[in-house]
Amino acid sequence: MTIFWTVEPDSSRAKARLNIKAQQAQNETLKCGVPGCEAGRRGISNFCKTHQHFHQDRGHPVLRMPRGEERRWMLAEGERMLAWLREKHGPSSVDGWLRAAARRITASPSMAIPPRKIDRRMTQRTRAEVVLAWFLHKRRGDPLEVIKLYLAAELYTRRKDRVFGPRVRNGFTNRVVGQLVAGWAKVEQEREVYQVRVEKMPSWANQEFRRYEELVKVKDTYKPQTSVYKMLGKMIRVTLRNEMLLSSVKEYYDHLFVKGEV
């Protein structure tokens, strides 16, 4: 007995594709969501081509990674926020919240694998855990500093961005924290390997080439992708959200807003 199969078109997927195309055509008639930009939107994004590229590359369509003096200002503002919280809620309470969150920033020592073993087929979360393990175990980093960094970056983003929604702000904060923590982790390792060096012999020699085997030092360096930075920041954010520390940033921001400092 011969069995014949009839392949029917997937009508639900076809309808979904048509729906997306209709949304795209309607969305591209609107202007970019960045204030002052008159360009049309791209696809189903809220931004034009240029600002969408910035959003994907930096995590925000307008803001840039804080560097130099701006980064020092961000960290100093974070310390001022913690001082205000200690004054309001008591030093023991605030320090207890920070220590409780820091204890949850963990990664297994076995995840601190050599950079050459980090494969692109690994998930973003696995590669982010590798970076975090290097920071905690190879560099003897303090997880409390990571917590303070995220709180400072969260406040920095709130102060710099009052136009876009929380999704854009959260993605940018994750990117900033992930990149800074990856810089602290400095995922690189030096190893010794045998290398073959070939030297051309003079014309009067019996052999044309001479081979040398020598022991040389090679430095393997891992530079994470932007998606890994964001995942690393997201992992830290989940911890702070579970410990209710992000609400403290909003509390301090509202205090500054009332005083007219934002």
- State the residue for tokens 């969305």: 27
Residues 6+ apart with CB under 8 A from 138: 112, 185
Instruction: Write out pLDDT tens, residues 53-71.
Output: 888 888 899 999 999 999 9
Integer Rg of the chain from CA: 26
Instruction: Write out pLDDT tens, residues 98-133.
Output: 999 999 999 999 999 999 999 888 999 999 999 999
Alpha helices in the chain (DSSP H): 11-27, 49-58, 69-89, 91-103, 124-133, 143-160, 166-185, 226-242, 246-259
> Distance from first CA to last CA of the chain, Å, rounded?
78
Please answer whether residues 97 and 106 qualify as being in contact, where contact means their C-beta atoms are separated by less than 8 angstroms: no
Instruction: Write out pLDDT tens, residues 207-219.
Output: 888 888 888 888 9
Chain centroid to CA 34 = 22
Tell whether the model's pLDDT for residue 205 goes beyond 80. Answer: no
